[in-house]
Amino acid sequence: MEKSLNINAGNATLLNDRLEMFDGYGSVNINCGNVLATRKAYDKLLSMGVHLNCGNTTILDITGEIAELPGKTVITADMSYAGRYLFCDGNLIVQDAKGLDGITGLYAHNLFCPESVSLPAVMGITANRVVYPDGAKLTFADTTLGEDSPIILEGGALHWVHGEITALDGNALEKLRLKNIAFHCKRLTIYAGLYEKYRDMFQADGCTFIPDGYAVTGGISLDAATALLYGEKLYVRGDMMIHHDQAQHLSGFSSLIVNGEVTMPVSAAAAFKAVGKANGYNLYEGALLEMNGVQTLSHDQLQTALNKGLPYSIQVNGVVCFMEGVTAEDVGAVASISCNGVIIAPGTARGALDSKIKEINGTILDFEAVKLLLGEKFDSDDPLGSLMKIQGLITGGGENENTSNINTGNFKL
């Protein structure tokens, strides 16, 4: 049997047309969100029969030798890249255009340059260009302005922040104003009262105003300690999770604002509405059961849920298996199921289970189909091990003697 290779990545960067690593494989699949490739490498991949499954593809027509530069590289007058193509997988800063003399092209996520710098008329520049005032200090990260912020120590400067600024400390803002410091940012998050007082310090592409008097936190799960730690007025910058057995703690708040999505049981909706609001809602019945990887549900487990009168709302990333012996009556313990992966169930439960599926991105199988797919590799004494094999066959996430997998956030060749 021929060997196959699966590459699963968020981003794939293919600059090298020397693709010897794929030799010996009968099939190669590259599954990713984004592909960035030279024309030469892309054409060679296609000629080799490599299958590219991606959301977005960018092809670079490159001439000359590639010079790879790390993110935040600063181009100055004493640099020389004549006859070369500059590739920067990040932000590139051009302080003097003489450093680009003679290049054949350029790629960068963002190309920053002061207003006084005029970029040469080079064909093949692929980058988002950002022009900032001469003398401004660049920051390529989200920044929080507080007493311990390094920016507090620097006076008389414009800080150009390619990210978000969080400004919730009035004492820090007063010190910055006394030092004549100003900011430009992509987004500003600030208390409404502080913005009215210090608005002249900021130029922002977008703003989030937090009402005065609210504590602020990131994404959070509600529990007994939440109101004790943050007080009765809370602003959540992100999502909020409310499990069915924690909903009573909503009574600890007089006001709750969630700048994200709230996941909560239907039974908690009235209590939440009385004190809070959110950008979005994900409501579930009974108890939320979140699954990642390979999980099983047995007859006894489902019967216990039925007896308690607390059905499961199941969210699956991977494989969920209703074990042999699960009946249509047992499926009454499932309020709903959302699946990104594989659902396996006995034929006796399939009809009842189909009516519970809220959404699915994947495959539904019964045990007989699993046994046919795995053949002698299915071990009735070790069904969990068998399920891990079926996960690999269907999702490409597993290993066997004829399949190799590379799972990574970023793949570069």
* Per-residue pLDDT tens over the stretch 185-197: 999 999 999 999 9
Give the per-residue pLDDT at 394: 45
Residue 320 has pLDDT above 50, yes or no: yes
Burial of residue 165 (number of CB atoms within 10 Å: 0-12, 13-18, 19+): buried
DSSP 8-state code for residue 17: -
Of the pLDDT bands very low, low, confident and very high (cuts 50, 70, 90), residue 377 is low
Query: Quick one: which of 144, 100, 146, 152 has its CA closest to 125?
Result: 100
pLDDT above 70 covers a percentage of the chain that reads 86
Query: Quick one: which of 175, 172, 114, 182 has its CA closest to 144?
Result: 172
Residue 390 has pLDDT above 60, yes or no: no
Residue 241 has pLDDT above 90, yes or no: yes
Residue 144 has pLDDT above 70, yes or no: yes
Q: CB 90: neighbour CB atoms within 10 A? A: 13
pTM for the model stands at: 0.75
Distances (CA, A) of 61 to 32, 38, 81, 89, 123: 21, 6, 18, 16, 10
Give the per-residue pLDDT at 273: 96
Query: Quick one: which of 164, 203, 161 has its CA closest to 187?
Result: 164
Give the per-residue pLDDT at 56: 85
Residue 366 has pLDDT above 70, yes or no: yes
- Average pLDDT over all residues of the chain: 85
Listed range (27-31, 119-123, 329-333) with the worst mean pLDDT: 119-123
Q: Which range has highest mean pLDDT (84-88, 94-98, 213-217)?
A: 213-217
Which residues, in sequence order, are CB contacts of 18 under 8 Å at separation 6+?
Answer: none
Per-residue pLDDT tens over the stretch 35-52: 888 888 888 888 878 888
Of the pLDDT bands very low, low, confident and very high (cuts 50, 70, 90), residue 395 is very low
Q: How far apart are CA 112 and CA 115, in angstroms?
A: 10
Per-residue pLDDT tens over the stretch 196-222: 999 999 999 999 999 999 999 999 999
Per-residue pLDDT tens over the stretch 248-274: 999 999 999 999 999 999 999 999 999
Query: Quick one: which of 73, 140, 76, 139 has its CA closest to 107?
Result: 73
Beta bridge partners of 129: 111
Give the per-residue pLDDT at 398: 47
33: helix, strand or coil:
strand
More confident of the two residues 67 and 12: 67
